[in-house]
Amino acid sequence: MKRIISFLIAGTILLLPAAGQENQEKLKKLENLEQQTELANLPDTLVLEEEDIMIADQETIADDTAVFRIGNDVVVIEDTGNETIIKLGHRGARINDEDDETDAEEFPDNSRMSHRSSSFKGHLGGLELGYNNYLTAFRTTSLEPENSFLNLNSTKSKAFNIISPGVNLGITRRFGLVTALGINFNNYRFDRNNSISVDAEGVIIPEYPLTADYEKSKLATVYAVLPVILEAQIPVSHGSAINIGAGVVGAVKLGSHTRVVYYEDGKQKVKNRDDFSLNLLRYGVTARLGYEMIQLYGTCYLSPMFEKGKAPELYPFEVGIALTFND
């Protein structure tokens, strides 16, 4: 019985910063109640009314540890076998199981930091839809006349990405790293009446229709991607947050093909699978800005799209909208 009363006193002491002066008066009542136990028998169970102690968002992180969130404060109660430890930030108390003694103590704030870090959720996993193009070595989309067969129709060159649920590494509750695996589909729609192929040396060359003009012509690539993003979240009204992220992305090529559509004795579709001297690996930078589940994102690769000497020096990029499903 004495241990139960001591436990309640220690818990009340930890809740003082959140409860204010009103809880101080209630603490005195509990202390008087402990003194009276020497003279009177109390029931085995003490019932505190809801207005006395308000505890919300209880989480059990282990069989012997429980976490209570009170506003922005976190209370951790841990049973070590020989004693019960109650922590609130740097403050806390130990209740010895053998003699029911209670001692106040200063603790490192690791428990609170661990809880805040584990609650971090980055905005990455989901679907992304955007437009793609490529930059020259001079960071422009304008190609030299001899390379004009690689000019793109920007409004019809689209990217589609499927990203797995993110893996989060929280530094704080609102700041941390997030990474995920994904599949990146790029369609580079050629602006002129041509496709591309490779010669015996693997050099990219234009390919023109023999008879009817091409209705559609594109180069399609598929890459597995691994973005790693450092994200910060800025709280706004009603618990929502604006998220800002930037990081790096690596990719490995899974496949590529060209596809043309033309009309000759009906609609004809021709697909040509080849590696088109595309680099197997590529890396770049990525950034995103959003509100809750919706983000604007951009990715620019710093490694050339094609193998050196096999095509013009081009650097692919894409911009679009992401819909994440982490919340």
Q: Per residue in 261-302, pLDDT tens?
A: 999 989 999 999 999 999 999 999 999 999 999 999 999 999
pLDDT (0 to 100) of residue 279: 97
From 71, 97, 118, give the residue that closes a domain. Answer: 118
Residue 243 has pLDDT above 60, yes or no: yes
Whether pLDDT at 143 is above 50: yes
One domain, residues 257 and 306: yes
**202 and 303, same structural domain?**
yes
Quote the percentage of the chain above a pLDDT of 90.
58
Distance between CA atoms of residues 255 and 238, nearest Å: 45
- Contact criterion met (CB below 8 Å) for 228 and 163: no
pLDDT for 58 equals: 53
56 membership: H or E segment, kind and range? strand 56-62
Question: pTM for the full model?
Answer: 0.66
Q: DSSP letters of 253-310?
A: EEEEEEEEEEESSSEEEEEEE--TTB-SEEEEEEEEEEETTEEEEEEEESS-SB-TTT
Beta strands at 126-136 and 158-163: parallel, antiparallel or unpaired: antiparallel
Asked which of 85, 118, 151 is the last residue of a domain, the reply is 118
Q: Are residues 24 and 100 in the same domain?
A: yes
pLDDT band at 309 (very low <50, low <70, confident <90, very high): very high
pLDDT at 117 over 70: no
The sign of the dihedral angle between the CA atoms of 4, 6, 10, 16 is: positive
Contact 123, 286 (CB under 8 A): no
Q: Does pLDDT of 97 surpass 90? A: no
Q: Are residues 156 and 295 located together in one domain of the fold?
A: yes
User: Which whole number is the average pLDDT over 232-246?
Assistant: 92
Q: Are 62 and 145 found together in one domain?
A: no
Q: Same domain for 107 and 68?
A: yes
Say yes or no: 65 and 194 in one domain.
no
Domain count, the chain: 2
Q: Which of 95, 118, 141 is the endpoint of a domain? A: 118
Indicate if 240 and 160 belong to the same structural domain.
Answer: yes
Cα angle: 200, vertex 205, 210; to 5 degrees: 100
Share of residues in the chain with pLDDT > 70 (%): 69
Chain centroid, CA 38 distance in Å? 56
pLDDT at position 197 over 90 = yes
281: Cβ contacts below 8 Å, ≥ 6 apart: 250, 251, 252, 253, 303
Mean pLDDT, rounded, for 230-250: 94
Range of the domain at 34: 2-118
The answer on 71 and 159 residing in a single domain is no
Is 105 a residue whose pLDDT tops 50? yes
209 and 96 assigned to the same domain: no
Q: What is the C-alpha separation between 238 and 260, in angstroms, rounded?
A: 51
Query: What value does the mean pLDDT of the chain take?
Result: 81
255: pLDDT strictly greater than 60: yes
Q: Residue 27 — very low, low, confident or very high, per pLDDT cuts 50/70/90?
A: low
Give the chain's count of helices (H) and strands (E).
4, 19
Q: Indicate whether 78 and 140 sit together in one domain.
A: no
Whether residue 203 sits in one domain with residue 104: no
Q: Confidence band (pLDDT; 50, 70, 90) for 50? A: very low
pLDDT of residue 152: 97
Q: How confident is the model at residue 107 (pLDDT cuts 50, 70, 90)?
A: low
Q: Which residues pair with 233 in a beta bridge?
A: 243
